[in-house]
A and B are shown apart, each in its own frame.
Chain A
């Protein structure tokens, strides 16, 4: 579960010893990394980029494209789900992961975040084709203008043509056999759990604004996480996928459903449960219960 909620997949390693999160992992110092100056003609130009990581992705590019095609479908929601599936695929794989899986992970991770943001901000877009969300002719400019290619210390190493290739693959579903059905099903559950987490944490923040001194007298967004806090408060403080909810002033629980064309009932239940919990006398405890139900449904072998 920590692999998911605390994003510990970034510290998982491939057979070459490279951490999947590259610069985002504290283990990056354990491997050789060649940094070069970015030559691309956008905001990245002149920034430091990770040539070693890009070399790995490039070496496995056919597998990356095949995985994107296998995991995607006809809508923008399916494309988003593909990037999410491939980003969480490693949860169920033993260490170390193969280099082609590492290349798939890195590509999916880079595409997942902007796609998530664009869908969250565009209600209804999830059920339309990906090209209507962002046409390929506008993709690079939009990524550049909105800063998606700039990291905290490095820039994205993907050449513009490769980014367009990957976008094209997400609009081109095909039956390939890169990934097993079991692996995709596990990644689907993780994906839905993350979306449910957004809804629950959105409600948690609303409960905090209303004041929850009796349930969490020592709550603070700063300082150490306290073990006696309700679990939703501990999840809210983590820097995993739930951190997205802290980036906006208010995250309505229902907003999480914008990523779906047809919301899975298990996630819709969590959203409704989160809204109902806010009316309870002890909303944080009620939200803890909603989270436990989600985990029991979606990750029954993992303790909540």
Chain B
């Protein structure tokens, strides 16, 4: 019997397997941010416990940091308190913190990989559902709640049942203008927002192999939107090339040994999965969500669907509710939907490659006069690298705002929010009601599609774009 990537990582990390109870799984890397950790540290203190492995724990501030005027004190008192609490907790328990003024600060799922903290074969957790991003490196990475954050802080372990496995095989080649984001949305469209509940998805096939590490991160990032516990891709030469020389990656002889170990991780040919889903890459197009769930998605060339066509009564009601919230009518062509705001950012799509793709569309154009557009790089390192290529100039000249790194309008915990009724083309991962601000209307798209919408003032098929 062949073993899957998940089997291999799992077996390597079982500390103890009691009969009839979940396995006790060892955690190699625990990432921490300001929003889901304060109550966990309080719990430790209340029980007189310490952090077992501060050396395997790394913290940053991202969810509610401001993305402008960073030299000023944080105006939002409650956010300031939460950030202050993380500082105190990291100091007290000896945890490395990449604070707001650090050159390594950024969205937790952007900095883990770029610092080389994220490595193949690891178990990685964070009090954040998009921890699945790190699976792009062939790690088992999943989001946990605050009680589990406390559990890992205290024990460096988590009791876990082994999830089921789902192979998503993507055949062929992604057509031009179709990004990793579209692949992610296409998979969710095919299997549903709860299609992978209880499963870990392993993405495979030529179209997945052809993705850059950035693209693989985008894909794994959105596994959670299909209900998956985690998403993963077995490591290959691209993975190793990305990690080589990163600050926290192994060096010298340790690097060679690590690459040898990592090369063994791929699922065996004979490995079997609980479910297999096949996707033909050539059937994919640039996608735009029209509703308030990531599964409510169509190609940019299609129309807003008619709820009357929904397969069940419950879905019909959900679709009607979504359309009312989104202010859309059935049958409206997606390309005729005007946008007010454009957000290029988030742990899904705010890496250098994403900014390059968006900048290529923007170059030589101006943002539509009605649209307010912003770019929020995923990390300080992404921001500096983009500036070194003068991408900031491309965006600024076109009329985009160029911000400091953080989650920003992905969830609107800081000042970056939509006003009621505003419509946004967003490269983030969730179009839930109110996600980007109460009454705000979010359409999920790729960075290229967001950039094109900013210029045109409405959605437009980027496959037809005239690059300057």
Co-complex (A, B)? no
Please list the residues of chain B having a beta carbon within 8 angstroms of any beta carbon in chain A.
Answer: none
